Amino acid sequence: MSSINAATATNISHSVFGHLPNGDQVQIYTLRSAAVEMQLAGFGARVVSLTTRGRQGKVANIVLGYSTLEEYVRDNKTFFGVIAGRFANRIANGRFTLDGVGRQVTLNDGPNSLHGGTEGFDRRNWAAEEIPSGVEFTLISPDGDQGFPGRLTASVRYTLHDNVVRIEYGATTDKPTVLNLTNHTYFNLAGEGQGTIVDEVLTIDADRYTPVNTTLIPTGELAPVAGTPFDFTQPEVIGARINDDNEQLKLGRGYDHNWVLRGGGTGQLHPAAQVYDPVSGRVLRVETTEPGMQFYSGNFLDGSFTGRSGARYEQRAGFCLETQHFPDSPNQSSFPSTELRPGQNFRSVTTWTFTTRG
């Protein structure tokens, strides 16, 4: 099935991607514009592929992932392309207190909870519906899901307008809860399977970041990036300082930290990051309404996963720019709140804009 939105010339088609072990059918949608082709699957509401042109017009898929649903089902470590939740990133010891009540959520990252726990939103088959220029995925997370309170109804809308992908998140709850949603796509602007991302050039619109402890939980400090390997206020090659003798880099095996974005707290779209690949000429610009962004340089990829091109994903085969609230926010009162209460409507927007330059 397919349709075309005349105003934006976005073609939308969908088919069956496969079936989960329980027999549930998973849909895959393809969005096409003159500049971008993107595939989205209901399992994890994830980005499966994203194809753009380089400076010479050469077309390539620039995100990491697999060709089959079965491969995604087997992989419960990388979070390729998913919507992470109910709480993206880490919660220390999987514990927090809300309205005086202690909560314990499932642990899946050493002593901590990561991206919602053992069965986070990445492991769910979201309902899908075609909308103008895109797809809306919805998911109902029951009260007590992975230990989180409240029946949560979440939605993610992906739309494509020429060279811009827009991701709109929404959620409501019937009990007080905590929420942090992000997209966990791994990019390689040279092309999926085309080596590492260490030579790509990154800019982050942030003067501070949140240092972490030995289990990658923020210490609570908002540290200046100036004079450190975390300073991307001016364009810098990702690999230039990634192996510096820096305790924070050693803890994350590279970059796996949250940056405090300059425009955070306004509720309006503001610059987050830009990445440029000198070889292909591709440029990715990220804007968001979120206060933070996790830059992850693919440090824990180790060659044990083979992507759709047949290439093994070695360390730093891709990078993530996860727009978000800060990690461990439920335990850090000085961080922007991640609480969501009945009657409130959570809303967040992130855009990816793809261009080229010489």
Q: Is 322 a residue of the active site?
A: yes
- Whose CA is closest to 141, among 132, 129, 150, 133? 150
In sequence order, what E strands does 163-228 have? 164-173, 177-178, 182-183, 201-204, 206-210, 223-224
Question: Of these residues, 115, 184, 257, 325, which one is catalytic?
Answer: 184
Q: In whole angstroms, how large is the CA radius of gyration of the chain?
A: 19
The first and second tokens of residue 336, run together, are 């922007």
Residues ≥6 apart with Cβ < 8 Å to 268 = 289
Question: Of these residues, 136, 287, 322, 325, which one is catalytic?
Answer: 322
In the chain the first and final C-alpha atoms are separated, in Å, by 38
- Whose CA is closest to 121, among 74, 184, 60, 66? 184
63 within 8 A of 186, measured Cβ to Cβ: yes
Q: Is 184 a residue of the active site?
A: yes
- Whose CA is closest to 210, among 316, 39, 90, 118? 90
315 within 8 A of 296, measured Cβ to Cβ: no
* Cα–Cα distance, 37 to 311 (Å, whole number): 21
Residues designated catalytic: 184, 322
